[in-house]
């Protein structure tokens, strides 16, 4: 868990600085077949919101905890990330992830083994869900920043 926490803390410090390297036009330009960099950042806020709830609720609800999906495209559309100032989106993302770090830092080790039902007869542990959250984030950060190390 330390590695995940260390990585999240690093990203919370680094991503806001790296986003400032882009012009507003670069952040708003649609990427091939998908969202703009600004919308990807917004999607990462949605992911953080959903996962914060999952990481918290799984510890106190009956097992297996059923992970409910959400309509990612509709969330991005309804929140209109394309028109929100980039610094506002980045500040929200950083705040949400600092909060996630607090939650996972306080999660007892035995609860990391709690089971999540992710659908299609697939089950993973809370620890796996947390790892997947970070993998998902890294995937989208590569879309924003390219393959350069973050």
The predicted-structure confidence for 44-99, as pLDDT tens digits, reads as follows 999 999 999 999 999 999 999 999 999 999 999 999 999 999 999 999 999 999 99
> Per-residue DSSP letters for the chain?
-HHHHHHHHHHHHHHHHHHTTS-HHHHHSBPTTS-BHHHHHHHHHHHHHHHHHHHHHTTTSPSSEEPPP--HHHHHHHHTGGGS-HHHHHHHHHHHHHHHHHHHHTS-GGGGG-EEEEETTEEEEHHHHHHHHHHHHHHHHHHHHTTS--
Q: Can you give the residue range of the structural domain that contains 125?
A: 2-144
Number of domains in the chain: 1
Task: Give the pLDDT score at 147.
Answer: 77
Q: Is 124 within a domain?
A: yes
Using alpha carbons, list the distances in angstroms from residue 3 to 9, 101, 105, 131.
10, 11, 11, 10
Domain contains 149: no
Q: What is the pLDDT of residue 32?
A: 65
Look-up of token digits 């973050």: 150
pLDDT in tens, 3-50: 999 999 999 999 999 999 999 999 999 876 789 999 999 999 999 999
* Inter-residue contact 81 to 93 (CB < 8 Å): no
Question: Which pLDDT score, from 0 to 100, does residue 16 have?
Answer: 97
Banded model confidence at residue 111, pLDDT cuts 50, 70, 90: very high
Is residue 150 one of the residues assigned to a domain? Answer: no
pLDDT band at 149 (very low <50, low <70, confident <90, very high): confident
Query: CATH code at 113?
Result: 1.20.120.450
* Residue 37, domain member (yes or no): yes
């Amino acid at each position: 868990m330390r590695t995940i926490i260390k990585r999240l803390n690093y990203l919370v410090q680094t991503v806001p600085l790296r986003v400032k390297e882009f012009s507003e036009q670069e952040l708003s330009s649609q990427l091939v077949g998908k969202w703009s960099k600004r919308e990807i950042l917004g999607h990462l806020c949605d992911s953080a919101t959903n996962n914060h709830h999952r990481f918290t609720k799984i510890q106190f609800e009956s097992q297996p905890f059923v992970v409910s999906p959400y309509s990612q495209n509709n969330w991005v559309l309804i929140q209109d990330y394309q028109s929100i100032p980039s610094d506002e989106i980045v500040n929200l993302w950083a705040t949400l992830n600092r909060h996630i770090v607090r939650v996972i830092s306080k999660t007892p080790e035995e609860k990391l083994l709690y089971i999540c039902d992710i659908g299609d007869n697939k089950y993973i542990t809370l620890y796996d869900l947390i790892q997947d959250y970070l993998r998902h984030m890294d995937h989208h950060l590569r879309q924003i920043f390219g393959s350069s190390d973050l």
